[in-house]
């Protein structure tokens, strides 16, 4: 029986943003293990801000499994953190309690900066490179440098080999800034993949001596450099198949009513990013508009042209947001609107 390297991955208790942690356990299986075959495991919660030292055990409960092509018989095991009883979700476990619906499709656009020596990859040691303009979807050494594309391509291949549903990648507006898009059916399926893709990106970057900066405005709120978002594209079965202007307006009214509740889970320091500049709406305003990248919710042309049917893009979530909490909140607001 081959020995598999099971990499259990979980979210720690750091605030305002959970960090990723992982450790390996070796187990024998006849073939690549299924989720049901993977046992719960434990870790020292006092080292991850999830427990006191005197009673430090937390439980890892596997919730999703992916092949890890970097290792012989490698397995990536996404986990929820549970209390010592193994059944009560730990307070830091944002996945356990969110709404889910396999017929609601999510597409997250994860933006991030690659960083080296405390500055975005490709920035000079002191000062700034040429202003943004040529970097978005850019090509050529002076626009994207030398190792960024290598990292991004390696990450893409790893994710595809893991079965993560990448839909695309692109260089973003600021120098050293990139994006990947992941599509999934259901809040948990999609958000699990975002977390594992984040994990794989961090791991790929290790060998390049590069860090990933997930902060939504790493160059500060006054610099003329774009921040990082994680736009949340979503569509329920009803939106795709029935839709209509009346339902759309009711849905948007509910989004407006819940504006603060959404912002609360859309990532830390979002006031630095949602300023009304750099393709954003202000944090305290809610708006929507057809093809409007300065709105909170962008309505794709295809949606309006197709009788208000299809998907919408909530542009407010930021790069450091927790996709479980974001998708869960979107579903909650949707659930409050009668169809």
SS3 content of the chain, % helix, strand, coil (to 5): 25, 30, 45
Min dist. Cβ of residue 264 to ligand ADP (A): 23
Binding flags for Mn ion, 98-117, as an x/- string (CB under 5 A): -----------x--------
Contact flag: residue 280 with ligand ADP (CB under 6 A): no
Closer CB to ligand ADP, residue 122 or residue 186?
186
Residue whose C-beta lies closest to ligand ADP: 107
Closer CB to ligand ADP, residue 62 or residue 107?
107
Contact flag: residue 50 with ligand ADP (CB under 6 A): no
**Which of 95, 76, 17 has the alpha carbon at shortest distance from 196?**
76
Contact flag: residue 234 with ligand ADP (CB under 6 A): yes
Buried b (16+ CB within 10 A) or exposed e, 193-210: bbbbbbbbbbbbbeeeeb
Contact flag: residue 136 with ligand ADP (CB under 6 A): no
Burial of 224 (0-12, 13-18, 19+ CB in 10 A): exposed
Closer CB to ligand ADP, residue 34 or residue 302?
302
Contacts by 270-276 with C-beta closer than 8 Å and gap 24+?
Answer: 270/216, 270/316, 270/318, 271/221, 272/216, 272/217, 272/220, 272/221, 272/227, 273/216, 273/217, 273/221, 273/227, 273/228, 273/229, 273/318, 274/316, 275/221
Closer CB to ligand ADP, residue 12 or residue 313?
313
Q: How many residues interact with ligand ADP (rule CB under 6 A)? A: 15
Stretch that binds ligand ADP, among 122-130, 132-140, 268-276, 306-314 (CB under 6 A): 306-314
Contact flag: residue 107 with ligand ADP (CB under 6 A): yes
Contact flag: residue 61 with Mn ion (CB under 5 A): no
Closer CB to Mn ion, residue 179 or residue 213?
179
Contact flag: residue 316 with Mn ion (CB under 5 A): no
- Reported as type and span, the H/E element at residue 166 is strand 166-171
Q: Rounded to an integer, what distance in angstroms lies between the CA atom of residue 96 and that of residue 99? A: 9
Under DSSP, is residue 59 helix (H, G, I), strand (E, B) or coil?
Answer: strand
Q: Where are the alpha helices (DSSP H) in 29-147?
A: 141-144
Binding flags for ligand ADP, 178-207, as an x/- string (CB under 6 A): ---x-x------------------------
Contact flag: residue 231 with Mn ion (CB under 5 A): yes
Q: Interaction with Mn ion in 132-191: which residues (CB under 5 A)?
A: 179
Contact flag: residue 235 with ligand ADP (CB under 6 A): yes
Buried b (16+ CB within 10 A) or exposed e, 22-55: beeeeeebeeebeeeebeebebebeebebbeeee
Closer CB to ligand ADP, residue 218 or residue 310?
310
Stretch that binds Mn ion, among 81-89, 142-150, 225-233, 243-251 (CB under 5 A): 225-233
Contact flag: residue 314 with Mn ion (CB under 5 A): no
Pairing of strands 177-185, 166-171: antiparallel
Contact flag: residue 231 with ligand ADP (CB under 6 A): yes
Q: Which residues bind to ligand ADP, rule: CB under 6 A?
A: 105-107, 109, 167-168, 181, 183, 231, 233-235, 310-311, 313
Residues that bind Mn ion (CB under 5 A): 109, 179, 231
């Amino acid at each position: 029986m081959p020995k598999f390297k099971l990499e259990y991955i979980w979210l720690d208790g750091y605030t305002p943003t959970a960090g990723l942690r992982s450790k390996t356990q070796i187990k024998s299986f006849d073939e690549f293990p299924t989720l049901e075959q993977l046992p719960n495991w434990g870790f020292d919660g006092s080292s991850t801000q999830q427990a006191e030292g005197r009673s430090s055990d937390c439980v890892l409960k596997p919730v999703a499994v992916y092949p890890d092509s970097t290792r012989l018989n490698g397995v990536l095991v996404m986990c929820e953190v549970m209390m010592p009883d193994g059944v009560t979700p730990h307070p830091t476990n944002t996945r356990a309690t969110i709404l889910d619906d396999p017929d609601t499709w999510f597409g997250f656009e994860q933006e991030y900066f690659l960083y080296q020596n405390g500055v975005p990859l490709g920035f000079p040691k002191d000062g700034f490179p040429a202003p943004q303009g040529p970097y978005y979807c850019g090509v050529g050494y002076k626009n994207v440098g030398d190792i960024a594309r290598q990292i991004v391509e390696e990450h893409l291949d790893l994710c595809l080999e893991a079965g993560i549903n990448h839909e695309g990648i692109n260089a973003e507006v600021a120098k050293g800034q990139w994006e990947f898009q992941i599509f999934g059916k259901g809040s948990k399926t999609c958000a699990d993949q975002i977390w594992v893709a984040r994990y794989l990106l961090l791991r790929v970057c290790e060998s390049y001596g590069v860090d990933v900066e997930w902060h939504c405005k790493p160059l500060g709120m006054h610099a003329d450099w774009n921040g990082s978002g994680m736009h949340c594209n979503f569509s329920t079965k009803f939106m795709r198949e029935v839709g209509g202007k009346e339902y759309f307006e009711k849905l948007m009214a509910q989004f407006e009513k819940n504006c603060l509740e959404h912002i609360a889970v859309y990532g830390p320091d979002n006031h630095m990013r949602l300023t009304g500049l750099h393709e954003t709406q202000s944090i305290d305003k809610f708006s929507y508009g057809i093809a409007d990248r300065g709105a909170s919710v962008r309505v794709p042309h295809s949606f309006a042209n197709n009788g208000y049917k299809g998907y919408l893009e909530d542009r407010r979530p930021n790069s450091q947001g927790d996709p479980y909490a974001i998708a869960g909140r979107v579903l909650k607001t949707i659930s409050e609107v009668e169809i």
